[in-house]
Amino acid sequence: MNQFVSPLRKPPAGHVRPKFLVFIALAFCVLAVSVAFFGVSAVTPYIGVVLALNDHGWTVQSVDSNGLAREAGIKEGDVPVAINGQPADVFLEKYEKAGIVFEVLIRELTVVNGEGQLKSVARENNPPSSRSVAEVAAWFITSLVFWAVGFYVLIKRPRNMAAMLLCLCGLTFGLALSGNMAAERLVPGALQLQVVAAVIGPWLLFHFFLILPEERAWLRKSRLVYLIYLPAAITLVLFPIMGYADGQPLPGFRTFRLLEYGAGFLAAAGAVLFNYLRAGSPRTRQQMKIVLISCLAAIIPFLVLSIFPATIQNIIPSGFNLLFIAFIPLGLGYAVVTTKLMDIDVLIRRSVVYGLITLVMAAILSAGIITVVVFQDTLGIPEEIAISIGLGGVATLLFGPTKRTIETLVDRLFYKDRYDYRQIIQSMSASLRSLNDCVDISRVIVGTTVHTLNLAGGCLFTKSQSGSFELSAGQGTFADPDKQGELATIISQGIEGIEFPNAASTACSDLAFLIPLIAGDKRVGILCLSQKASRQDFSSNDLYLLQGLASVGAMALHSAMLVRDVSMRDTFVSIASHELRTPLTAITGYAELLLRRDPPEATRRRWLQNIFDNSQKISKMVDDLLNVSRIQTGRTTIKLQRVKVSDVLDEVLSMVRESCDKSKYEFVVDIEPALPDVLVDRDKFGQVIGNLLDNAVKYSPNGGRITLSAHNDPERHRVVVSVADEGIGIGAEDKASLFTTFHRIQRPETQGIRGSGLGLYIAKEWTQAMGGEIWLESQLNKGSTFFVAVPTQTLQDGPKKELHVIGRACQ
Amino acid sequence: MAEHVNRKILIVEDEEAILELLSEIFKEIGDYTVLQARDGEEALRVAWAARPDVILLDIQLPKRNGYEVCKLIKSDSVMSHTKVLLISGTPPNLVWPKAREMGADGYIAKPFSSIMLVEKVEELLTGS
């Protein structure tokens, strides 16, 4: 028993709760009592008869197969003559009202049987029968398994209520069994303890199943759940009052007791079935499956062995059937402790299929036998042989098709999510072949996976030009933007250790797998998959399919990305050269004109202004290109400092105001008073807001109101600055790629609006590097609002510090 | 040179500085009537009304881009003889295939010198 002491000596992490110590102390007391009862029972013989009062007076009602009475030849219907050294009449007088005398009262018995022979039996000076010892040993072994499992789960999951309850169940089970046997052997107090244990036990089991599923963790703390012990409490209170008299339980109350714990067991079984059918998570379902299977493994052999005729029972060692009960604690313990559960579905499916095949084959063969029997008079032996061989042939020929038909039938009825994975991969690669857009490809990959495996949801993050993973398709429960945000956070934190084929549910409960899509040695995407909608577990076939889909998908994505990169390069060359060459044309052109001519003063000034403006444009474009290059090679330097928001906003706004047509635009400023200072790079923060204001002007060709606001968000320690316009707005199809390099909205309204397509990309990267966030809300043709949130403090609150942004290498 | 007198040139450019620059270059030569347009639709309107001999057409324009304007002019039976010279800052290899498809007579890349530009226009007009 040494290993059980360890929780006392070496407490599990942290301090040992006093309640836990009390529990352990109590557990060991119960354990000690149970072991003592088993020990006494093993060496003490018992009579094993029940006497009952009927129309013929007192007779032997039943004789236990393992008792001394049976060995002595006492049988049902014998009439008692003397009991415990007293004449039977004298002894039985006070039990007439009860009408029954249980074995717990009988030490010595003499009976007369039908033939008039006297048989007598006494506990004193008699060794226990071998069958009795075997029975005690079998129950002891079963209890031992229960205890071992109970303490094992308690050590493995010291703070788990389910483990505690399972341990209690084991102790109660052992106490009930040992108490029952000790009571039969007239050990004082055993009967009472046995009743207490038997009355409480089933409700403990019910309690265990109620709180076992993870989704019912809330119930573990609730006090209401203890109401389930009410029937047990009532029974325990009533037992000494009206259930016990003259050293034995009263028969009427015994029935009540049986009903009480019958109800308890039914409730427990109901809880198992309910958990199974309404499982909130696949784990619960698997746990319940294991419980059900272990119960079947225990009860079926137990019943089968118990109903065998007595002759066969004599061959089997006594108590052998009891050993099967040990499957129950093993199953329960397994369900509590393990986190990965076996794939039982496949096993069940195979059993169903082969069972049905056997039935069909048996029907064919029976048809043959019946034919032979019916026509045996008219048929000669050669014909009978021919028919047998023919039917055998038919059965053999039919085996294949029958198996296939039955499999299809079973799949269609119970396993809607089974499939031929080669076909799926083939059809997916066929549909991917015609696509070369990353988003379309992502949709196909997610759609195929979710549909084939019947998943609740799935989404795909693909590698963007900047090297980060961005959402490209989502379906089902993972189409929800909040969920996608959560997944993006998980991915950004790195998926090492939880990626496929490991379960990713540690990171997020409804996430089953994070599958990196790898082409060559590049990770081109990450596929996030939820659990199955049916809550079934993934089979090994599913995992093969996922592997296949992932590699086909990765190749398609990779080639699409190469095409995209080449076309991006073209876009880059085209936009960059356009944005540099146009101002350059103006500069050289006006310089030429000025060199050649001598225009009037006003014209000269205008031309010089043109040269100056266009030089500014080139310088801005070169700056942008350098900034992008710095971002992509990880050389951006951020100098964080405390900055007054309104100062920066005023400065930027006055610059933008000056450069635009004041008659068209109305600028509204809404800056919350007493804003806390923000911790940003002053220049970069100013440029970010400047970019947004420039865009607001640029993309409101018809003018309108431009609102610059700043509000405090004290909960998240940040200030949110927003720039709202009443311009052309941004469509859903542009929102996703708006913050990427050289993305320019291609709409009739945007033709002729000049821009490098770099502003928002730089704004996003810088904002994130400063620990902030940028996002937008927009309605097509109504206007857009861009939000920039920047932190008001950092963890190490220093006055001014330099920060190197860890770069992402551009591929 | 007598035949060159009073040729009409339509300059389509949305960037004010470039529009003025191009106009100045051709006004300086003297024998061009310079017409201006600042977007694709205005370009088509002016072209219809004034029937220019040559159009200097920027590709990136509001309302209709240079390619569209070029295609519409070249597919029109009355206007199809008008010479169209596309101007853009985008490298020629990315522009010229499409420009030719739209029927443009020539392409000139920014930045250009005024002499080069005038030569190109003259060449187009005399070559016909």
- Are A578 and B28 within 8 A, CB to CB? no
What SS3 class is residue B87? strand
- What's A163's domain CATH number? 1.20.1070.10
Domain of A531, in residue numbers: 438-448+458-566
Chain B residue with Cα closest to A596: B28
Cα–Cα dist A475/A458, whole Å? 5
pLDDT (0 to 100) of residue A7: 39
Are A137 and A271 in the same domain? Answer: yes
Q: With respect to residue A207, please indicate whether it lies within any of the assigned structural domains.
A: yes
- Are A752 and B114 within 8 A, CB to CB? no
Nearest chain A CA: its distance from B48 CA (Å): 22
Mean pLDDT, residues A734-753:
70
Q: How confident is the model at residue A171 (pLDDT cuts 50, 70, 90)?
A: very high
- Are B15 and A581 within 8 A, CB to CB? no
pLDDT (0 to 100) of residue A799: 40
B31 touches chain A (CB under 8 A): no
- Are B61 and A752 within 8 A, CB to CB? yes
Are A91 and A190 in the same domain? Answer: no
- Are A752 and B89 within 8 A, CB to CB? no
Mean pLDDT, residues A129-144:
86
Residue type, A4: F
Chain B residue with Cα closest to A609: B17
Mean pLDDT, residues A304-316:
68
Q: What is the pLDDT of residues A603-639, one digit of tens each?
A: 899 999 999 988 988 888 888 888 888 887 778 888 8
- What's A478's domain CATH number? 3.30.450.40
- Are A752 and B20 within 8 A, CB to CB? no
- What's A55's domain CATH number? 2.30.42.10
B25 touches chain A (CB under 8 A): yes
A600 touches chain B (CB under 8 A): no
Nearest chain A CA: its distance from B123 CA (Å): 20
Query: Which of A91, A122, A153 is the C-terminal boundary of a domain?
Result: A122
**Chain A residues in contact with B89 (beta carbon < 8 A):** 577-582, 585
Closest partner residue to B60 (CB to CB) among A585, A586, A752 is A752
Check: CB of residue A260 under 8 Å from CB of residue A232.
yes
- Are A586 and B15 within 8 A, CB to CB? yes
Closest partner residue to A578 (CB to CB) among B14, B88, B112 is B88
Are A676 and A779 in the same domain? Answer: yes
User: What is the token pair recorded at A187?
Assistant: 């050990």
Are A99 and A190 in the same domain? Answer: no
Q: What is the pLDDT of residues A544-567, one digit of tens each?
A: 888 888 888 998 888 888 887 777
Strands (E), A226-277: 244-245, 248-249
pLDDT (0 to 100) of residue A466: 66
pLDDT (0 to 100) of residue A811: 31
A742 touches chain B (CB under 8 A): no
Are A662 and A784 in the same domain? Answer: yes
Chain B residue with Cα closest to A701: B62
Are A204 and A333 in the same domain? Answer: yes
**Chain B residues in contact with A621 (beta carbon < 8 A):** none
Check: CB of residue A635 under 8 Å from CB of residue A809.
no
| Long-range CB contact pairs, A561-569, < 8 A, 24+ | A561/A438, A561/A462, A561/A463, A561/A524, A563/A436, A564/A438, A565/A465, A565/A811, A568/A465, A568/A741, A568/A742
- Helix-helix angle A601-633:A540-596, to 10 degrees: 160
Query: Which of A337, A357, A377 is the C-terminal boundary of a domain?
Result: A337
Cα–Cα dist B67/A363, whole Å? 79
Nearest chain B CA: its distance from A774 CA (Å): 30
Mean pLDDT of chain A: 81
Which one of B12, B16, B20 makes the best mutation probe of the A interface by having the most chain A beta carbons within 10 Å? Answer: B20
B93 touches chain A (CB under 8 A): no
**Secondary structure string (H, E, C) spanning A6-54:** HHHHCCCCCCCCHHHHHHHHHHHHHHHHHHHHHHHHHHCCCCCEEEEEE
Closest partner residue to A577 (CB to CB) among B20, B89, B112 is B89
- Tell me the CATH number for domain B2-127: 3.40.50.2300
pLDDT (0 to 100) of residue A313: 60
Q: A810 vs A36, A386, A559, A616, A633, CA distance in Å?
A: 75, 78, 17, 28, 7
Instruction: Name which of B82, B69, B8 is nearest B40 in CA terms.
Output: B69
Q: A632 vs A461, A629, A740, A760, CA distance in Å?
A: 20, 5, 12, 15
Q: With respect to residue A475, please indicate whether it lies within any of the assigned structural domains.
A: yes
Nearest chain A CA: its distance from B99 CA (Å): 15
A754 touches chain B (CB under 8 A): yes
Mean pLDDT, residues A697-720:
88
pLDDT (0 to 100) of residue A611: 92
Cα–Cα dist A399/A421, whole Å? 24
pLDDT of A327 over the 80 cut: yes
Check: CB of residue A107 under 8 Å from CB of residue A130.
no
Nearest chain B CA: its distance from A698 CA (Å): 13
Cα–Cα dist B100/A400, whole Å? 66
A492 touches chain B (CB under 8 A): no
**Chain B residues in contact with A597 (beta carbon < 8 A):** 28
Q: Where are the domains of chain B?
A: 2-127
Instruction: Name which of A621, A547, A542, A616 is nearest A580 in CA terms.
Output: A621
Check: CB of residue A50 under 8 Å from CB of residue A62.
yes
Chain B residue with Cα closest to A748: B63
A588 touches chain B (CB under 8 A): yes
- Are B21 and A579 within 8 A, CB to CB? no
B37 touches chain A (CB under 8 A): no
Are A400 and A320 in the same domain? Answer: no
Q: What is the pLDDT of residues A242-282, one digit of tens each?
A: 888 777 888 888 888 888 888 999 999 999 888 888 776 66
Are A319 and A237 in the same domain? Answer: yes
- Are A574 and B91 within 8 A, CB to CB? yes
Beta-sheet pairing, A86-87 with A49-54:
unpaired
Q: Which residues pair with A62 in a beta bridge?
A: A50
Q: B111 vs A303, A584, A585, A587, CA distance in Å?
A: 97, 6, 4, 9
Closest partner residue to A593 (CB to CB) among B15, B24, B109 is B24
- Are B63 and A752 within 8 A, CB to CB? yes
Range in A173-177, A629-633, A746-750, A764-768 the model is least confident about: A746-750
Are A369 and A313 in the same domain? Answer: no
Are A109 and A238 in the same domain? Answer: no
Which one of B12, B14, B18 makes the best mutation probe of the A interface by having the most chain A beta carbons within 10 Å? Answer: B18
Q: With respect to residue A809, please indicate whether it lies within any of the assigned structural domains.
A: no
Q: In total, how many domains does chain A have?
A: 6
Nearest chain A CA: its distance from B41 CA (Å): 12
Q: How confident is the model at residue A803 (pLDDT cuts 50, 70, 90)?
A: very low
**Chain A residues in contact with B113 (beta carbon < 8 A):** 588, 592
Q: How many CB pairs under 8 A join A and B?
A: 78
Residue A608 has a CB neighbour count (10 Å cut-off) of 13
Closest partner residue to A581 (CB to CB) among B39, B64, B110 is B110
Q: What is the pLDDT of residues A785-794, one digit of tens each?
A: 999 999 987 5
- Are A570 and B94 within 8 A, CB to CB? yes
A581 touches chain B (CB under 8 A): yes
Residue type, A752: G
Q: What is the pLDDT of residues A493-550, one digit of tens each?
A: 777 777 777 766 676 777 888 888 888 778 888 999 988 876 667 777 788 888 888 8
pLDDT of A120 over the 50 cut: yes
Q: With respect to residue A598, please indicate whether it lies within any of the assigned structural domains.
A: yes
- Are B114 and A589 within 8 A, CB to CB? yes
Residue type, A468: S
Cα–Cα dist A134/A411, whole Å? 47
pLDDT of A420 over the 80 cut: no
Range in A213-217, A449-453, A721-725 the model is least confident about: A213-217
Nearest chain A CA: its distance from B59 CA (Å): 9
Chain B residue with Cα closest to A586: B18
- What's A794's domain CATH number? 3.30.565.10
A748 touches chain B (CB under 8 A): yes
Are A288 and A168 in the same domain? Answer: yes
- Are A610 and B21 within 8 A, CB to CB? yes
Residues within 8 A of A (CB atoms), B 59-88 only: 60-65, 88
Query: Which of A321, A337, A353 is the C-terminal boundary of a domain?
Result: A337
Mean pLDDT, residues A685-690:
92
**Chain A residues in contact with B112 (beta carbon < 8 A):** 585
Nearest chain A CA: its distance from B26 CA (Å): 12
User: What is the token pair recorded at B94?
Assistant: 């990315």
Q: What is the pLDDT of residues A435-492, one digit of tens each?
A: 878 888 898 899 888 888 878 889 999 887 667 788 888 888 888 888 888 888 888 8
Mean pLDDT, residues A284-294:
81
- Are B110 and A585 within 8 A, CB to CB? yes
Q: What is the pLDDT of residues B36-66, one digit of tens each?
A: 998 888 989 998 888 898 999 988 888 888 8
Q: With respect to residue A453, please indicate whether it lies within any of the assigned structural domains.
A: no
A610 touches chain B (CB under 8 A): yes
Are A792 and A663 in the same domain? Answer: yes
Check: CB of residue A660 under 8 Å from CB of residue A698.
no
